[in-house]
Structure 1
Amino acid sequence: MKLDLVLRVGTKILLPFILVFALYVQFHGDYGPGGGFQAGVIAAGMVILYAIIFGVNKAKHIVPQALVEAMIPLGVLIYAGTGIVSLLLGYNYLDYTGFAGDFLRAHEWGILIVELGVLVTVSGTMIAMFYAFAERGR
């Protein structure tokens, strides 16, 4: 793809907009459909598009394999840790009441943190699967 100047420039123009859309889906997830899973897939798609156009080695330079492998358990830890914090505060698992003074504010923060954990796990898993499949042909 080194000679496809239009694809390379077009991809560099599109990448920030893909990231902004993933963040929109992430932060809009507690108000409507969508959230961590969809945002994680969109963010991973951004990295996969970069890898397809510029090469897997350059993508691994930006998003290293070690970071991708650390993202998967980190997201699960964020998700589960949110529930454990609820338990330590004396509430039910994933009951966000203790996160803030009022219930609505606590519910917003709790869902946002849980969805962030889902985003990290899903994007890490998708990128790890792409890296694994991309390396099979080598």
Structure 2
Amino acid sequence: MSLDLILRVGTKLILPFILLFALYVQFHGDYGPGGGFQAGVIAASAIILLSITFGLDAAHRIAPQRLVELMVPLGVLIYAGTGAAGLLMGKNYLDYSVLAHDAVHGHELGIFLVEAGVLITVAGTMTALFYAFAERGR
């Protein structure tokens, strides 16, 4: 792949926009189609594109195996912790109304935290799956 100059330059140019679009999908998910799952897959696709274009070692420098393995339980912990916060404050699991000074802001914060947890878990899972398949032949 070292001779594919157009592919390498194109990948370097498009990667920031892929990650920016993932953030757009993440933050737009409260008001329309999108959210954590879609944003996580888009973010993982940036790492996969980097790996396909520049090799697996380049992807491991950006997203090391250990970080990817930590992302999966971290996202679940954020999701579960957001739900448990409602329980600890005397409400139902995933009742966001107690997370802020009023119910509306609590719901906004709760949805943001849950979607962030989903993004982290999905991006980590998809990247880990790609690493597992890519390293199979090594």
Q: TM-score, normalised by structure 1?
A: 0.98
CA-CA distance at 1:101 after TM superposition: 2.0
CA-CA distance at 1:120 after TM superposition: 0.4
Greater mean deviation of Cα atoms: 30-39 or 100-109: 100-109
User: Are 1:114 and 2:114 an aligned pair?
Assistant: yes
Give the letter aligned to residue 92 of structure 2. N
What is aligned with 2:125?
A: 125
Give the letter aligned to residue 132 of structure 1. A
Following superposition, which runs of at least 4 residues in structure 1 exceed 3 angstroms of deviation?
none
Give the letter aligned to residue 94 of structure 2. L
Within 5 Å, give how 1:68-79 maps onto structure 2: 68-79=68-79
What residue ranges of structure 1 are gaps of 5+ in the alignment? none
1:80, 1:64 → 2: CA distance? 25
What is aligned with 1:58?
A: 58
- Secondary structure of 2:84's counterpart equals helix
Q: TM-score, normalised by structure 2?
A: 0.98
**How far does the alpha carbon of each residue in 1:101-136 deviate from its partner, in whole angstroms, 9 at most, with x for none?**
222211111000000000000000000000000011
User: Are 1:19 and 2:31 an aligned pair?
Assistant: no
Query: Aligned Cα RMSD in Å?
Result: 0.7
1:4, 1:79 → 2: CA distance? 42
User: Are 1:36 and 2:39 an aligned pair?
Assistant: no
